[in-house]
Copies of this chain bind each other. A is one copy, B any other.
Amino acid sequence: MLLTSDARGVYPIAPTPFFDDGSLDLSSIDRLTDFYLQIGATGITVLGQLGEAPKLEYEESLNVATRMIRRADTLPVVVGVTAPGFAAMRALTREVMDRGAAGVMIAPPNTLRTDDQIVTFYRQAVEAIGADVPFVIQDYPLTFSVQMSPGVIRRVIEESPSCVMLKHEDWPGLDKISTLRAWERAGELRHVAILTGNNGLFLDYEMERGADGANTGYAFPDMLCDVVRLSTAGEREAAHDLFDAHLPLLRYEQQPGVGLAVRKYLLMRRGLLSSAAQRKPSAAMSAATRAEVEHLLGRLAEHDPRAVLAP
């Protein structure tokens, strides 16, 4: 089951669960995976940046990916293989594809600047992992400091038939989606899936611009599934109503650094993680932050019963 450019719906970015002592919590992986299946996710992405991938040893990375691939069963699992060099990228790709991954996600190193540097990087990445492995471009300048113009993304898509999806999280990014889709409609560019990230901060309008869904880690991925479904079904105002109800919390979770602590705390509060622990380096939640998150949950619960959580 390989990832194709027909991907759509919601691919949650799975966090990597740890116990308080920092060891891997595999049963929470199972619980998360079952939850994603149950809420109607159409795929899963594991070992992303916010999955704390760089904090894992190599064998741990394999364990996490494998556990999720097996448990997800019918769902395609995309594995983040971003690495400081192509040898490590290739090694991890080969292992996870052998174990049933649907494809891999590749972010650019934060030293890239010019258009040519970016295009060359993806060309060499494809040489490294093999042209038979479907891959996802991660376009996240806020985190990676690499700015890809629409024209650069187009060049990568044109060069590499194995590029099947764009994880779009540029900010601002709405017009970028429109530009890519316009080229597609004009027959100038083949279709790739566009799933959006950045914690879903603009998912409401991204869907209307031509995105195929979401690929992000907000702690209520069930809301993301609903918004994508409602938007696709043309129930525009209902989609916005639900989205807007979550926006105060979603915005809070979207903060860099502390955002991951908030996300893991929320997933623990929802019973999906047994601990909110992160490995270092990590931003801790202050008592004030925790109180604010609970306050946001309380306000959200007035609109969405899924936010009604036992204390």
- List A residues at the B interface (Cβ < 8 Å): 52, 54-58, 60, 83-88, 91, 110-111, 113-117, 120-121, 124, 127-128, 147-149, 151-152, 171-172, 174-175, 178, 201-202, 204-205, 208-209, 237, 240, 243-244, 247-248, 251-252, 255-259, 279-281, 286, 288-289, 292, 299
| A255 B172 Cβ-Cβ under 8 A | yes
Residues of chain B with a CB closer than 8 A to A247's CB? 244, 247-248, 251
A59 to chain B, nearest CB (A): 9
| A178 B114 Cβ-Cβ under 8 A | no
Contacts A57-B91, A172-B257, A175-B289 given: A120-B281 contact, CB under 8 Å? yes
| A55 B85 Cβ-Cβ under 8 A | yes
Residues of chain B with a CB closer than 8 A to A148's CB? 114
A247 to chain B, nearest CB (A): 5
Contacts A288-B178, A292-B205 given: A87-B279 contact, CB under 8 Å? yes
When C-beta atoms are compared, the residue in chain B nearest to A22 turns out to be B87
| B255 A171 Cβ-Cβ under 8 A | yes
A271 to chain B, nearest CB (A): 26
| A174 B289 Cβ-Cβ under 8 A | yes
Kindly list the 9 A-B residue pairs having the minimum CB-CB distance in the complex, ordered from nearest: A54-B84, A54-B85, A172-B255, A55-B85, A113-B147, A115-B115, A114-B149, A57-B87, A124-B280
Q: How far is the CA of A99 from the CA of B116 in the complex (A)?
A: 41
| B259 A114 Cβ-Cβ under 8 A | no
Residues of chain B with a CB closer than 8 A to A201's CB? 251
Supply 18 further A-B pairs (C-beta < 8 A) apart from A54-B88, A174-B288: A54-B83, A56-B87, A86-B280, A114-B147, A114-B148, A115-B115, A115-B152, A127-B280, A174-B289, A174-B292, A175-B289, A201-B251, A205-B252, A209-B288, A244-B247, A244-B299, A247-B248, A247-B251
Our pick among B54, B113, B127 for the contact of A113 (Cβ within 8 Å) is B113
What are 29 contact pairs spanning A and B, CB under 8 A? A54-B83, A54-B84, A55-B87, A56-B85, A56-B87, A56-B88, A58-B88, A83-B84, A84-B84, A86-B280, A86-B281, A110-B110, A113-B113, A114-B152, A115-B115, A115-B149, A116-B149, A116-B151, A120-B281, A124-B280, A124-B281, A128-B280, A172-B257, A172-B258, A174-B292, A175-B289, A178-B288, A208-B292, A247-B251
| B86 A55 Cβ-Cβ under 8 A | yes
